[in-house]
């Protein structure tokens, strides 16, 4: 079962209500509550409001979009446009995943969703970077992603990686997955991806969370418990 389906089942089993294709426009304080202004992504002229006691901003690359539109101070974040190439590997590597950890490391891993392998490289996967410094220089990450010219660096990835594994020269490039990766500035010097947690950020009950690794979803529960926001 895909991770998405597992999480959807858990959400439904827990009785959580959710809405898709909605954009949060702002969060404001109103009568000791938080008022969240939202609109459908395909019908932005339609404005709706949701009232809540607690709001968790877990929007990753778009964290500062909600923050700036809510007239709050921006959180320093760094963004990278990244490329993960998808390739057909030779038969000898069909059921194999490889990661070279020392030096300019690269990784070739099975990608079952496309019956291909992913191919990434520490030097060539990041293409371009920008930072959220202040409101004047803030860029909407999704809009900026659409505007950036994307040219694959797969040839450079392959050229370097085949020095260590010559058989990789037999890989056939198929496609690339492009994404915005968001990290904390203090993670630039190494691959640490600590959790950013800002409770009551500018507004009572408005909490901002950003984690750079998938297992942060479990770590953050412990972080929240320590603040007393949830019990158990």
Q: Provide the residue-wise pLDDT of the chain in tens; the chain has 232 residues.
A: 688 899 899 999 999 999 999 999 999 999 999 999 999 988 878 899 999 999 999 999 999 999 999 999 999 999 999 999 999 999 999 999 999 987 779 999 999 999 999 999 999 999 999 999 998 889 999 999 999 999 999 999 999 999 999 999 999 999 999 999 999 887 555 555 678 999 999 999 999 999 877 778 788 888 888 887 766 5
CA dist 32 and 132 (Å) reads 30
Asked whether 110 and 95 are in contact (CB, 8 A), the reply is yes
What local confidence, expressed as pLDDT, does residue 193 receive? 60
The four Cα atoms 179, 182, 185, 186 give a dihedral, to 10 degrees, of -110
CATH 3.30.9 in the chain, residue ranges: 77-183
- Closest to 23 in 3D by CA, of 54, 5, 45: 45
> 77-183 has which CATH code?
3.30.9
Contacts from 95-100 at CB under 8 Å and sequence distance 24+? Answer: 98/165, 100/161, 100/164
Give the Cα separation of 39 and 147 in Å (integer).
Answer: 23
Please tell me the distance from the alpha carbon of residue 36 to that of residue 51, in angstroms, as a whole number: 6
Say if CB 225 and CB 73 are below 8 A apart: no
Are 118 and 111 in contact by the 8 Å Cβ rule? The answer is yes
Q: Where in the chain is the domain with CATH 3.50.50.60?
A: 3-75+191-227
CATH of segment(s) 3-75+191-227 = 3.50.50.60
CA nearest to 61, candidates 147, 146, 173, 142: 142
The enclosing H or E element of 35 equals strand 33-40
* pTM for the structure as a whole: 0.85
What pLDDT is attached to residue 109? 98
């Amino acid at each position: 079962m895909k991770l998405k389906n597992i999480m959807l089942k858990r959400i439904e089993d827990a009785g959580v209500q959710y809405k898709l294709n909605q954009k949060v426009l702002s969060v404001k304080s109103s009568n000791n509550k938080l008022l969240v202004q939202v609109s459908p992504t395909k019908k932005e002229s339609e404005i709706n409001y949701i009232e809540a006691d607690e709001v968790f901003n877990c929007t990753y690359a778009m964290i500062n979009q909600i923050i700036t539109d809510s007239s709050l101070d921006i959180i320093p974040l760094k963004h990278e446009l990244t490329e993960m190439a998808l390739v057909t590997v030779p038969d000898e590597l069909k059921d194999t995943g490889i990661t070279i950890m020392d030096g300019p490391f690269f990784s070739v891993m099975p990608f079952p969703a496309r019956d291909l392998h992913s191919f990434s490289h520490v030097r060539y996967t990041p293409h371009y970077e920008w930072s959220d410094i202040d409101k004047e220089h803030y860029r909407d990450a999704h809009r900026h992603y659409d505007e950036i010219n994307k040219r694959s660096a797969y040839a450079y990835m392959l050229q370097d990686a085949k020095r260590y594994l010559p058989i990789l020269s037999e890989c056939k490039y198929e496609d690339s997955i492009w994404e915005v990766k968001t990290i904390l500035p203090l993670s630039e010097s190494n691959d640490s991806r600590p959790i950013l947690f800002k409770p009551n950020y500018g507004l009572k009950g408005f909490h901002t969370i950003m984690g750079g690794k998938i297992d942060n979803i479990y770590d953050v529960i412990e972080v929240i418990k320590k603040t007393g926001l949830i019990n158990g």
